Structure 1
Amino acid sequence: MLELHNLNVYYGAIHVLKDVSLKVNKGEIVTLIGSNGAGKTTTLRTISGIKKLKSGSIEYDGRDISKYSASDIVKMGISHVPEGRRVFSTMSVLENIEMGAFTRTDKPQIKKDMDKVFSLFPKLYERKNQYAGNLSGGEQQMLSIGRALLSRPNILLLDEPSMGLAPIIVKEIFSIIQDINENGTTILLVEQNANMALKYTNRAYIIRNGVIDMEGDAASLLNDEKVKKAYLGG
């Protein structure tokens, strides 16, 4: 469904992604694991059209999308939940969710999709008229995901959804991610919490200094001694 071929991406003179290749099959949850500065966020930003690549290609359903704008990529069915949530703090929860449908004109279906989001995140329904900036970190993460779902993505790009959250909230967020996937949305997940990510995903790639260092099914990587030592505290 999504395939990256030898991506090379720069920030000025700094070579951030070096021939990065990975694929995400329809229906999977695939995770990209690595330390700070490894290139995880840049990978997602490049897929979603925010950052332009120097060379390589990004294929989505067999079509090269590497030269399309971010808004066109959303319309194609790829939605990006950025690191740090990035909610509109002075807008209500309801208004934030409505912003996720900015590319759509099918109002009756938008209303149905909003109801689905509130069913998935009942806490957001309870707080729908509150300012988003007054929500807890976990609630803001739920809001950011809910907003992305309003674009009706085929693939959801999630950047560090567990960042800064208490362990019990992290478990809740990952359970919701699993529910979203089971309802038909393919997911590419970027995570520093490698232990949690590998328990909930099908396959994983490990990126180090802009290079894909390892790849495999999640269960195998979870039990790999090298991975345990570097990323799981083993």
Structure 2
Amino acid sequence: MLKLDDIVTHYGNIQALKGISIEVKQGEIVTIIGANGAGKTTTLKTICGLISPTSGKVYFQNKDITGKATSDIVEAGIAMVPEGRRVFPRMTVLENLQLGAYLNKNRQEVKNYLEEVFTLFPILKNRKKQIAGTLSGGEQQMLAIGRALMAKPKLLLLDEPSMGLAPKIVANIFDIITEINKEGTTILLVEQNARMALSIANKGFVIETGKIVLQDTAENLLKNEEVKKAYLGE
């Protein structure tokens, strides 16, 4: 479904990605784990057109989407939940969700998608008139995921969904991610909480200083001594 072929990305003179190749098959949950500054977020931003790669290709459903406008990439079926949630703090929950469907001109479809999001996140339905900036961190994360789902993506990119959240809330968010996947959305998950990410993923990639240094099934990565030592605190 998604293929990154030898992607090189720069920030000015700094080479952030050094020939990344990743494949995500339809229906999978794939995770990229690595330390801060390893290139995880840059990888997601390159996929969704927020950064153009210096070289290499991004393919989605066998089409070359390298360097396309982000709006075109969203229309093709990719949505991203950014790091730090990035909800619009002065707008209501409902307005934030409606913005997620801004490309869709079919009002009935938007209404149906809203109901699906409210089924997944009942708390958002109860707070739909509340100003987003007044929500708790966990609720804002749910809103950020809900807003992305309003675009009805085939592929959902998640950037550090557990960041800054209490363990109980993290467990809830990861249950929801699994549920979204079961309902047919393919997921590419970037996460510092490697144990949690690998516990729900089919396969994983380990990134260090802009290079993929290890790739395997999530089950094997959880047993890998190097991964245990570096990322699982063992």
TM norm structure 2: 0.99
Give the alignment of 1:50-89 within 5 angstroms: 50-89=50-89
Give the alignment of 1:151-162 within 5 angstroms: 151-162=151-162
Q: CA deviation at 1:226?
A: 0.6
Secondary structure of the 1:164 match is coil
| Identity between Structure 1 and Structure 2 (%) | 56
Name 2:134's counterpart in structure 1. Answer: 134
- Aligned-CA RMSD value: 0.4
Name 2:194's counterpart in structure 1. Answer: 194
Q: CA deviation at 1:95?
A: 0.4
For each residue in 1:106-156, what CA deviation from the matched residue of structure 2 results, as whole angstroms up to 9, or x when unmatched? 111110110000010011111110000000000000000000000010000
Q: Which one-letter code corresponds to 1:106 in the other structure?
A: N
Hey, what's the Cα distance between the residues in 1 that align with 2:106 and 2:219? 41
* Contact persistence 2:51–2:67 (CA under 8 A): no
Hey, what's the Cα distance between the residues in 2 that align with 1:111 and 1:127? 17
Name 2:32's counterpart in structure 1. Answer: 32
Secondary structure of the 2:35 match is coil
Give the alignment of 1:41-52 within 5 angstroms: 41-52=41-52
Q: CA deviation at 1:67?
A: 2.4
* Displaced runs of 4 or more, over 4 A: none
Q: Which one-letter code corresponds to 2:49 in the other structure?
A: G
Hey, what's the Cα distance between the residues in 1 that align with 2:175 and 2:158? 14
Q: Which one-letter code corresponds to 1:24 in the other structure?
A: V
Hey, what's the Cα distance between the residues in 2 that align with 1:145 and 1:166? 17
Q: Which one-letter code corresponds to 1:104 in the other structure?
A: N
Hey, what's the Cα distance between the residues in 2 that align with 1:116 and 1:83? 23
Hey, what's the Cα distance between the residues in 1 that align with 2:37 and 2:121? 32
Q: CA deviation at 1:201?
A: 0.5
Q: Which one-letter code corresponds to 1:154 in the other structure?
A: K
For each residue in 1:176-225, what CA deviation from the matched residue of structure 2 results, as whole angstroms up to 9, or x when unmatched? 00000000000000000001000010000000000001000000000111
Hey, what's the Cα distance between the residues in 2 that align with 1:200 and 1:210? 24
Name 1:228's counterpart in structure 2. Answer: 228
For each residue in 1:56-96, what CA deviation from the matched residue of structure 2 results, as whole angstroms up to 9, or x when unmatched? 00000111100210010000000011000000000000000
Hey, what's the Cα distance between the residues in 1 that align with 2:205 and 2:230? 14
Name 1:148's counterpart in structure 2. Answer: 148
Hey, what's the Cα distance between the residues in 1 that align with 2:170 and 2:152? 24
Hey, what's the Cα distance between the residues in 1 that align with 2:142 and 2:18? 33
Q: Which one-letter code corresponds to 1:171 in the other structure?
A: A
Name 2:206's counterpart in structure 1. Answer: 206
Aligned length in residues: 234
Name 1:21's counterpart in structure 2. Answer: 21
Q: Which one-letter code corresponds to 1:98 in the other structure?
A: Q
Q: Which one-letter code corresponds to 1:111 in the other structure?
A: K
Hey, what's the Cα distance between the residues in 2 that align with 1:86 and 1:22? 26
Q: Which one-letter code corresponds to 1:123 in the other structure?
A: I
TM norm structure 1: 0.99
Unpaired runs of 5+ residues, structure 2, are none
Secondary structure of the 1:22 match is strand
Hey, what's the Cα distance between the residues in 2 that align with 1:158 and 1:67? 20
